[in-house]
């Protein structure tokens, strides 16, 4: 099988090229190498590789194949095709798919596909430089001839170069067609210097492509680890897993709206793609410290809940008191009948009084039980009168405990929990919950962040700070915080207000949530300028349409939102 080589195909070609032209093309090759190292998008990178190869070799057209595995063995997939003279631009960023089947490296019987020049190059790692495909022996160019017959094109010279990575593994093939003489515009063969330049470019391109794939894989691995953490939080508590997914989305919605703002105090805020990625990662990790929070505190749906809801113990005690009352009633009746048998009329009156007192007592016990069950559910506010009644029940009733002694009906811990004014958490439990942000900061600051992600700890760790310095854990003020951290603070609050998967409350409507958020703006809790953008750009509505139930999306009168400054325009 004959293989054309530069030595046999081109004789004395160096004498035809000027030193000036060669230096110019070498300089062009260096510029291309630098450009390839900076490209981040895979399709753009593949496109640049092929266009650069065409430029330095003056090729009329070319194809870039990417080596991929398949069920039928390794194959070369058509990634990019270009031929300006024929108006062909397929693959890559064009959005036009390439309709050709991939080139298989092995036949169905397992024999190497050495008939196809691209497959041969991929199998052997050798460059093939063909002067004329119509006279070349050893390769199957029947498909090329049929293509030329249909289109009227003349596919003559072929330069096929392997793309090897830093481990000398073939990752693709670069194939160029028809070298154009710049002086005569005639089609000619690829010179020895063309081949050397193409091989050099292919080597640089392969390394750039491998590096980009490696970086993409590392980023995917990194984000998968983040998802792993959030999954662990989700497995611990189904009430927080959704939060970890929704806050980053809302954060990016608001950040993009700020980025698009051209006037006002935040007009100078701009984000690059790196900034966006950094904020996205911070959003995904903003609650990673919750892996350290005890489940029974995170999931505390009622005031008496620990590992289980202790209201059931209270119910049992009420049943004991009711049983004791019934026993006491029976004893009173027996004693009355024993002493007052001769006076039947008075005995019947006394029995009626005893029964009435028993019914009144049972009714009071049932009322107090329902009252405590109601108190066990967290709410927005608990009046002093209600808390006082809890104390009276807790210390007023006595019961015989398991040790046989007389004890108060409720323990001091139960009274303290049942008289929680807002929500279901005691001050100690709230501190435990709040500690998750300390754990988040500690965990994130311990990581060796690369330069483009170095602000992740600050963004993620600041979402519980307040603009007036009364937040936690560091008590930062507005001017000490980045815009990104302040954005995340609003996103975290609004998600929590509207979340419908919390065990201790229902998801609030838009109007309810915006009223609370507006009051937070007035009392120095959240950034006023960001709040104005949040409302003016209707970020709340975009988020609601994606995540809230229809019955939560009520009519919003923005003029009634506390603290909202309407856009004068």
Provide the pLDDT for residue 31: 64
pLDDT over 60 (residue 388): yes
Confidence band, pLDDT 50/70/90 cuts, at residue 33: low
Provide the pLDDT for residue 318: 92
Taking only the tens place, the pLDDT of each residue in 289-309 is: 888 888 788 778 888 888 888
Provide the pLDDT for residue 233: 79
Backbone angles phi, psi at 37, to 5 degrees: -70, -20
Q: What is the mean pLDDT of the chain?
A: 87
Share of the chain above pLDDT 70, in %: 90
pTM given for the model = 0.69
Alpha-carbon span 458 to 455, nearest angstrom: 5
Residue 246 CB contacts under 8 Å (≥ 6 apart), including other chains: 495, 499, 547
What residue spans of 58-191 are helical by DSSP H? 117-124, 142-151
Residue range 178-185: mean pLDDT, rounded: 85
Taking only the tens place, the pLDDT of each residue in 68-120 is: 999 889 999 999 999 988 889 999 888 899 999 999 999 988 899 999 999 99
CB atoms within 10 A of CB 360: 11
pLDDT over 60 (residue 16): no
Provide the pLDDT for residue 12: 45
Residue 25 CB contacts under 8 Å (≥ 6 apart), including other chains: 56, 193, 197
Provide the pLDDT for residue 449: 94
Confidence band, pLDDT 50/70/90 cuts, at residue 41: confident
CATH architecture assigned to 237-297+429-560: Orthogonal Bundle (1.10)
Element (H, E) at 417: helix 412-418
Backbone angles phi, psi at 225, to 5 degrees: -65, -40
- Where do the domains of the chain lie? 6-214, 237-297+429-560, 311-424
**What sign results for the dihedral spanned by CA atoms 494, 495, 500, 502?**
negative
The tokens describing 543, both together, are 């988020």
> Which residue did the predictor score with more confidence, 161 or 209?
161
Q: Tell me if residue 63 falls in helix, strand or coil.
A: strand
Return the top range by mean pLDDT from 264-273, 376-385, 502-511.
264-273
Provide the pLDDT for residue 493: 95
CB atoms within 10 A of CB 91: 22
Provide the pLDDT for residue 29: 61
231-236: which pairs have CB atoms within 8 A and are 24 or more residues apart?
232/291, 233/287, 233/288, 233/290, 233/291, 236/290, 236/291, 236/295, 236/298
CATH architecture assigned to 6-214: 2-Layer Sandwich (3.30)
Q: Would you list the DSSP string of 217-237?
A: HHHHHHHHHHHHHHHHHHHH-
Confidence band, pLDDT 50/70/90 cuts, at residue 35: low
Do 197 and 75 meet the contact criterion of CB atoms below 8 Å apart? no
Confidence band, pLDDT 50/70/90 cuts, at residue 165: confident
237-297+429-560 and 6-214 share a CATH fold: no
Provide the pLDDT for residue 5: 46
Residue range 487-503: mean pLDDT, rounded: 88
Taking only the tens place, the pLDDT of each residue in 239-256 is: 665 788 899 999 999 999
Taking only the tens place, the pLDDT of each residue in 535-563 is: 999 999 999 999 999 999 999 999 899 98
Return the top range by mean pLDDT from 12-21, 307-316, 478-487, 503-512.
478-487
Residue range 20-47: mean pLDDT, rounded: 67
Residue range 323-334: mean pLDDT, rounded: 91
């Amino acid at each position: 099988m004959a293989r054309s080589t530069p030595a046999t195909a081109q004789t004395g070609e160096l004498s035809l090229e000027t030193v000036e032209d060669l230096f110019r093309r070498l300089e062009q090759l260096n510029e291309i190498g630098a450009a390839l190292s900076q490209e981040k998008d895979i399709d753009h990178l593949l496109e640049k590789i092929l266009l650069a190869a065409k430029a330095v070799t003056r090729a009329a057209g070319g194809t870039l194949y990417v080596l991929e595995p398949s069920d039928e063995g390794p194959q070369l997939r058509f990634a990019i095709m270009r031929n300006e003279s024929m108006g062909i631009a397929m693959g890559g960023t064009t959005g036009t798919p390439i309709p050709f089947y991939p080139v298989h490296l092995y036949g169905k019987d397992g024999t190497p596909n050495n008939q196809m020049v691209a497959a041969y190059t991929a199998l052997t790692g050798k460059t093939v430089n063909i002067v004329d495909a119509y006279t070349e022996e050893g390769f199957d160019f029947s498909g090329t001839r049929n293509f030329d017959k249909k289109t009227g094109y003349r596919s003559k010279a072929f330069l096929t170069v392997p793309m090897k990575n830093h481990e000398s593994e073939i990752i693709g093939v670069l194939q160029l067609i028809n070298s154009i003489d710049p002086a005569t515009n005639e089609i000619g063969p690829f010179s020895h210097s063309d081949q050397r330049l193409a091989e050099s470019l292919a080597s640089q391109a392969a390394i750039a492509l491998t590096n980009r794939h490696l970086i993409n894989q590392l980023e995917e691995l990194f984000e998968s680890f983040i998802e792993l953490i959030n999954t662990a939080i989700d497995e611990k508590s189904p009430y927080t897993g959704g939060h970890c997914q929704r806050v980053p989305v809302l954060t990016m919605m608001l950040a993009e709206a700020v980025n698009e703002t051209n006037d006002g105090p935040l007009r100078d805020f701009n984000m690059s793609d790196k900034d966006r990625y950094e904020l996205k990662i911070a959003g995904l990790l903003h609650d990673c410290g919750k892996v350290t929070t005890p489940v029974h505190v995170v999931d505390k749906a009622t005031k008496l809940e620990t590992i289980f809801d202790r209201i059931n113990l209270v119910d049992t005690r009420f049943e004991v008191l009711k049983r004791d009352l019934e026993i006491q009633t029976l004893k009173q009746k027996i004693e009355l009948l024993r002493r007052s048998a001769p006076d039947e009329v008075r005995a019947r009156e006394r029995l009626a009084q005893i029964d009435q007192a028993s019914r009144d007592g049972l009714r009071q016990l049932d009322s107090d039980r329902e009252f405590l069950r109601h108190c066990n559910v967290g709410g927005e506010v608990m009046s002093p009168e209600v808390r006082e009644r809890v104390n009276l029940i807790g210390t007023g009733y006595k019961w015989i405990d398991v040790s046989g002694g007389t004890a108060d009906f409720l323990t001091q811990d139960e009274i303290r929990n049942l008289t929680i004014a807002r929500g279901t958490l005691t001050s100690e439990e709230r501190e435990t919950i709040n500690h998750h942000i300390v754990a988040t900061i500690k965990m994130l600051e311990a990581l060796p962040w690369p330069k483009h992600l170095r602000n992740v700890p600050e963004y993620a760790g600041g979402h519980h700070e307040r603009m007036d310095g009364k937040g936690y854990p560091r008590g930062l003020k507005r001017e000490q915080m980045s815009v990104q951290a302040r954005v995340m603070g609003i996103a975290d609050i609004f998600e929590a207000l509207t979340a419908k998967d919390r065990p201790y409350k229902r998801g609030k409507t838009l109007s309810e949530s915006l009223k609370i958020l507006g009051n937070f703006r007035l009392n120095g809790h959240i950034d006023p300028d960001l709040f104005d953008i949040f409302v003016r750009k209707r970020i709340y509505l975009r988020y609601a349409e994606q995540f809230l139930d229809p019955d939560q999306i009520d009519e919003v009168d923005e003029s009634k939102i506390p603290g909202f400054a309407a856009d004068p325009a």
